[in-house]
Structure formats: structure tokens, C-alpha cells
Structure 1
Amino acid sequence: MPGDPTQIAGGRPGVRPGGPSRHRPVALAGGQPLLPRRRRALRRDSAVIDVRRVAGNIGAEIYGVDLSRALPAETVSAVRAALLAHKVLFFRDQTLDHAAHIAFARNFGRLTYAHPYHKPAAEEFPEILTIDPRPLEDELGRDHEEVYRRRRRAHYSGWHTDVSPAVNPPAAGILRAAVVPEYGGDTQWTNLAAAYAGLSDPIRSFADTLHAEHRFLSGFQMLPGDPEVEALVKMTESDPLIAIHPVVRVHPETGEKVLFVNPSSVARIVGLSTVESEHLLRLFYEQLVRPEYTVRFRWEPGSVAFWDNRATAHLAAEDTARIPARRTLYRVTLLGDRPKGPDGFESELVSGRPFAALGEGAPVR
């Protein structure tokens, strides 16, 4: 088990080229055809992974690794190095069950409970969260995916960083596909470090000094008294998670500055008027969803995505209502630390408690 529970454990990179694949994530590039993929190989000793970039600012496919088997230290180090460099990694044709999924994730840090509010996939696997609208419908009594869609404040409201209302959001997430439709249901990621770097100097300097309040459902019109959202509001407000985070986070491993805001969970920028906060957040959100900072992934059975939650936000495509087939994925998250800003500000807990590692404390619910 890694020595520092708040960092993604590992070491130096090592890679060996592998064979070709027919599977290709799609980089959003303003509707233009993609150029042939570039191959980026990292080598060291006996590590055997093949890293292939899939977009200009984010994303890489990884080949030469069977995630269901015990991995040598060199391979773990190479995967970790690729994650820090590319922000999200994609693996194909894997054969993971819940136990193997957890075992792979533990190479990189300590795991959290599945979610602060939602039930795990199974009692014997409290780390595993099911990504499927049907269990939530059974639990809360409505098609809440449709409720979310109708109540989004803006076109970008669904973009989010996992569990950002916790004072210590997860360091990373690992998501695997179990059942997927023949078409649709893709996921997009955006590079928040690239989004920050793309801002003008005066805006970056201003953002470096700001702090934002994060709470669940902030990007949605979830009003008390609305019968369709009553169960969701009750679930999150009975024991709310609220944290104040720096608007710009310094990545604890790479030192990069990251635009650490997301449209789903940021309620306001502290110290600004409502109008000022809304306008500035809109500027940040339009920046982070620009196509050149994103990558789009087409799921297939056995696909796995591994992302750095400290430097990315992601979005499930909103076409699931038009897909007749099931879409079931499973996720684990790695324990994170309290974000720190360029001004030295460290995230503050307003309500709730830190998102606990498995075996320490308990989920909020």
C-alpha cells in the first residue's frame, strides 16, 4: 500500500510499444476530421505499456496491460506517469470484476467509499458505485436523469469533478464498462490545467486569489417544494457537504495550476456579488468546455477510463434518453487531499465531514 494516502502512488515511467487497435476515442476538434494518432512511447527497463495520445491537450490510450492481473512496480509507475501527463487514460478489452477492479485501483492509493449519498453496487463491495440511472430511479422513485436534464441552468451544467463539495475531493476515478449500448452514451473529459493556461494573464492573476463554495446540485434548479426533486433535495440537504475551495488549485504532484471549478457543484465565488459571481463563473465554464481542451470516449464492454480528478472535469453525453439499451458502468475513487491555492489558501470544510477512506469513518449517508 502506498505511503502517502492522498497521492496517486507510483514511480518512474516505463513503456514498450504494443500492437495496433481498431478502437479510437474521438477528440472534439470543432467538427474537423482527426489527424492520424501520434504515438508516444515511454521506456524503462521491463515495464510493458504502450501510451498513445488521442487529443492535443488530454487523453491517451494504454496498451500492453492486463488490469485483471497483479502488476509489477514498473508498470504501475508507468501508468501513473502517463496519468499525470495525459490526465485521463483509456484501456480496452479488459476483464475486470468488482474484486479485480478494486485490486487494480489499490496500486495507486487508498480507496474511498462509493459515494457520500448513493448506495454501493453491493454490500460486500462498499467501494464500488454503480453508474446506471435505474438503481437511482428505484431508490428515489423517479427518472432523475430526466429531472436533471430539464433543470440544468445552462448547456454546460452537467460537467463536474467528482465529489467536489467534499473538503477533500477524490484524487482520481476509475470507471469500467459492464453493459453499454451499441451507440451513444459516450463520456467527455476536459483538461482543467490547459483551460487555466488558456486564460489571459490578468484573468489568471485574478482567479489565483479567488475561492468558491461547492455544494451538490448547484448547477440545477432544484427548488424545495418541487415534488419531482424532493427526494434529491432531501438526500443532499439532510446532511449537506459544503466546502470552500480555491478557484485555482495547485496540483500536488505536477505543480500545475488548475481551474478548479465545475458547473454542477459551484454555488458562488466567495466575496463577490451574485451578479459578479455568475458572470465570472460563466466565463470560467465557457473556457473549460472549449473543444480543444476535451476528449470524447466511446465505451465498449471491457473499456476502462482512469482520470486525475484533481485536474479534470467530465460529462456523460446527454443522449441516453434516446438509447433503448442499458448502460451500466462501475466506478471506484481514490482518496484525495485538501486543495491548496497559489495564495496558500487551503480548502475549508463548511458542512459535513471529509470524504472518508474505506475503513475510516463512514460515508455521509
Structure 2
Amino acid sequence: MNQLVREFRAGVLSLTPLTPTIGAEVSGIDLSEPQDAGTLSHLRGALLDWKVLFFRDQDITTEQHLAFARAFGDLEVHPFAPSKPGYPEVLAITHNENSKGRENIWHSDVTWRERPSLGSILRAVEVPPVGGDTLFSDMYAAYDGLSDEVKARVEGRVAVHDFAHFRRGLVKAGKTPQEIESFNRAYPMVEHPVIRTHPETGKRAIYVNAAFTQHIVGLDKDESDALLAHLYAQAAIPEYQCRFRWSANAMAFWDNRSSQHYAASDYFPAVRRMERVTIMGDRPV
């Protein structure tokens, strides 16, 4: 079999890559059932290799969604985004004629946390007839593609991350200065490496993103802005990407430590309803 279109098999589990380095579709698995240790180990290894795994036709309950995610670690509660009633760990992401999609920016989830997430598992509840794809970008490949000059400039640098756009949403929603200050104390700005070393693979990845990174420490504003703009632009290079077209009951499980993603908001005013569960990670190094 062609090395770039190889399949991975563990029992009846099959993994078919979408591109040479990022994205693979998993078949032969029913996520409504508890997975044994061997299957979970294979899935974790596949996630490390391919950065994002896709599953189709998974008609599961919220409890089963949560149980699958918990097999990979503790779950976080997002302090700003709306949750599904009765399920604080489940983000309810709905867009329609009254709410245009806003996730159309390359990012890694919650990098404003001291311990950003390991990964996220997103389930499609209702999808538009066309559009609403999610794109994923390989941040290992993005780092490897940098020039030696840029690699030298970012070596050892750290950048500040903040929940700035959520703060603007809090202001718009009418939160008082005292309420906003309580969020500032709970989630102070944090510094993370510009280039992160993955804790499980040891590979290096670009770890700044246009959604949450504010500036690079030790550089003046103009130099920081220019360098960040160059680093952000790497996610948009097609050779580093895969693209997933959603269908009802499809799921995506991505590694936030080695990838960024972008939800195409091209389906307005159609409905797109998704539910996301996020697994806690560790402090980037």
C-alpha cells in the first residue's frame, strides 16, 4: 500500500489518513460502548501521530460523549462559553440566522489558561446542508517549515496569552467592572513558550495563535507584532492542513498541543449545532 495512504488496524479498528501528516478517519468503532484499554491506547497513539481523528455515524448520548472523553483525562469547564443545560463540561456551540459563526480564526483552544487543554472532542448535532467545515493545521510541520533565521529569533522566547475577546464579550453582556475583575483574578494573563515541546512526542510546534496571544515578551511592539503575524500565517499554508466536512453524528478529536483549527463560517443563515468536551492538559514547556 502507498506509504501516504496506509491504513492502521487494531482488530476491526481502521485508520485512514486524510493527508500525509494531519488528520485520519477512524472506522470500525462504536463510541456508544466503553472502549477497552488496548483500543484507547491505539487511539491515543493515533492522535499523537495524526493530531486529529475523525469518527462518523456516532449516534451517542451526552453521557457517552463525556465517558469517552474522560478516558483520556479530566475534563474542564469553560468559564465564558455557554454550556449544555445540566452538563457544565459540554460546550453548546450553536449558530443560525441570529448568530453568525465566530470561530473562523486559527487557534488552539484555551491557551489563556495556565494549563491549556490536551485536546477537544467535538460532536456534530445538526449541520448545514453545505459549508461549516473545520480545517486543522499541523503545527509541527509549521515549525519545521520556518527558516533557520526565524527559528533562531523565536528560540527560548515566551508570549503572553489572554482571554481578551471573551472579556469584550463580558463587557457587551453587561458584566460589571467588579465581575470582570473577578475573572481577571481567576484567569490572569499567562506566559507560554512561542515554540512548545509536546510532552508526549517531544516534537516542537508553533504555540502562538491569533485568538489569544497578545505579544512576545522582550520585544518591542512592532517587532513582536511582525513576528507573530509571520508565525500566525503558517497555519494557513495548505500543505500543513486537512479539511473535514461534517455530517450529523460525526466527531472530531484533536490534539491542541500540536494543531490549530479554524471553523469556516460560510453557512449563514443555516443552522450548525455542535457540542464540545475538552480534556485538561499540562503547562506548556
Are the counterparts in 2 of residues 37 and 53 from structure 1 also a CA contact under 8 Å? no
In the alignment, structure 1 residue 268 sits paired with structure 2 residue 215: yes
One-letter amino acid of the counterpart of residue 56, structure 2: R
TM-score in terms of structure 2 length? 0.89
Give yes or no for the alignment of 1:230 onto 2:172. yes
Residue identity matched to 1:320? Y
Q: 2:90 aligned with 1:128, yes or no?
A: yes
Instruction: Give the alignment partner of residue 79 of structure 1, picking from 40, 43, 50.
Output: 43
Query: Is the 8 Å Cα contact of residues 49 and 78 (structure 1) preserved in structure 2?
Result: no
Query: SS of the counterpart of 1:169?
Result: coil
Root-mean-square deviation over aligned CA pairs: 2.6
Structure 2 portions without partners, runs of 5+: none
| CA 1:236–1:266: 2 relative to 1, 3 Å | farther
Give the one of 47, 52, 63 matched to 2:16. 52
CA contact (8 A) 1:37 1:54 kept: no
Quick one: distance in 2 between partners of 1:95 and 1:37?
A: 32
SS of the equivalent of 2:173 reads helix
Match of 2:129 among 177, 182, 189: 182
**Out of 234, 239, 242, which is 2:183 matched to?**
239
- Which structure has more RCO (C-alpha within 8 Å, separation ≥ 6)? 2
* Aligned mates of 1:271, 1:180 — CA distance in 2: 44
Letter in 2 for 1:250: T
Partner of 1:16: none
1:105-147 Cα distance to aligned partner (Å, 9 max, x none): 122111112x121232022x2211111136xx9xxxxx6647x
Q: CA deviation at 1:78?
A: 1.0
Residues 53 and 61 of structure 1 are in contact (CA less than 8 Å); yes or no, is this contact kept in structure 2? yes
What is aligned with 1:61?
Answer: 25
Matched, 1:249 2:204: no
Cα deviation 1:45-91 (Å, max 9, x = unaligned): xx431111101221001111111111121111111111000000111
| 8 Å Cα contact 2:9/2:15 also seen in 1 | no
Of 102, 109, 112, 2:76 maps to 112
Relative to 1, partners in 2 of residues 1:38 and 1:237: Cα closer, same or farther, differing over 3 Å?
A: farther
Please state how far the C-alpha of 1:237 moved relative to its aligned partner: 6.0
1:41 alignment partner AA: E
Aligned partner of 1:99 among 63, 68, 71: 63
- Structure 1 CA distance, aligned partners of 2:66 and 2:4? 31
| Mapped contact 2:7–2:17 kept (Cα < 8 A) | no
> 2:54 matched to which residue of 1?
90
Do the aligned residues in 1 keep the contact of 2:116 with 2:283 (CA within 8 Å)?
yes
Structure 2: distance between partners of 1:236 and 1:37: 52
Spell out the pairing of 1:302-313 with structure 2 (5 A cutoff): 302-313=249-260
Q: 1:71 to 1:232 in 2, by over 3 A?
A: farther
Rounded to whole Å, the distance in 2 between the matches of 1:105 and 1:86 is 18
Aligned residues with identical type, % of pairs: 43
Q: Is residue 198–residue 204 contact of structure 2 (8 Å, CA) maintained in 1?
A: yes
Using the alignment, how far apart are the partners of 1:232 and 1:245 within structure 2?
Answer: 31
CA contact (8 A) 2:100 2:265 kept: no
TM-score (norm 1): 0.71
Aligned to 2:8: 42
Contact between 2:82 and 2:93, CA under 8 Å: does it hold in 1? no
| Distance in 1 (alpha carbons) for counterparts of 2:99 and 2:271 | 16
Cα drift, residue 238 of structure 1 = 5.2
Distance 1:145 1:232, change over 3 A: farther
Give 1:163's match in structure 2, choosing from 93, 110, 114.
110
Is the alpha carbon distance of 1:239 and 1:265 closer, same or farther for their aligned partners in structure 2, counting shifts above 3 Å?
same
Task: Report if the CA contact (8 A) 1:133-1:145 is conserved.
Answer: yes
For residues 338 and 186 of structure 1, the distance between their equivalents in structure 2, rounded to whole angstroms, comes to: 30
Instruction: Determine the C-alpha separation between the residues in 2 that align with 1:296 and 1:249.
Output: 24
Q: How many residues align?
A: 279
Of the three residues 338, 346, 360, the one matched with 2:283 is: 338
SS in 1 for 2:89: coil
Gaps of 5+ in 1: 1-35, 138-142, 150-156, 341-365
1:285 corresponds in structure 2 to: 232
User: Deviation of residue 228 (structure 1)?
Assistant: 11
Greater strand proportion:
2
On the 8 A contact 1:48/1:75 being kept in 2, the answer is no
